């Protein structure tokens, strides 16, 4: 998966697809949208055709530590709590005003 493709057409395809994703991500950093995700996606696509990018990209993704996992679980629980709170509050206001629906 991390090996370079000797086929020039495959490298060109990775270059075009990754470049488009990267440029769209950079544009979406200032426009509304998932800019950082597209920048990361563009770099990941480019790294399939150019192994030097993979060597620089993989160490910057710390996704295996227990602190990261526990903070993601805690963030998910906080988000779930906020969603339940918001739903119940809006529902209570609608019932009070008689506009349930």
48-85: per-residue pLDDT in tens?
A: 777 777 666 655 555 567 666 777 788 889 999 999 99
Report the predicted TM-score, pTM, of the whole model to 2 decimal places. 0.49
pLDDT of residue 1: 46
Burial of residue 13 (number of CB atoms within 10 Å: 0-12, 13-18, 19+): middle
Lowest mean pLDDT among 6-15, 29-38, 60-69, 71-80: 60-69
pLDDT of residue 42: 86
> 7 versus 58: which is more confidently predicted?
7
Q: d(Cα 61, Cα 63) in Å, to the nearest integer?
A: 6
């Amino acid at each position: 998966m991390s090996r370079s493709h000797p086929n020039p057409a495959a490298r060109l395809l990775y270059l075009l697809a990754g470049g488009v994703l990267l440029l769209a991500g950079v544009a979406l950093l200032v426009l509304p949208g998932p800019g950082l995700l597209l920048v990361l996606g563009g770099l990941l696509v480019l790294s399939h055709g150019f192994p030097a990018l993979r060597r620089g990209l993989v160490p910057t993704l710390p996704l295996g530590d227990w602190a990261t996992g526990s903070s993601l679980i805690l963030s998910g629980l906080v988000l779930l709590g906020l969603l339940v709170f918001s739903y119940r509050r809006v529902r209570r206001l609608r019932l009070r005003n008689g506009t349930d629906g």
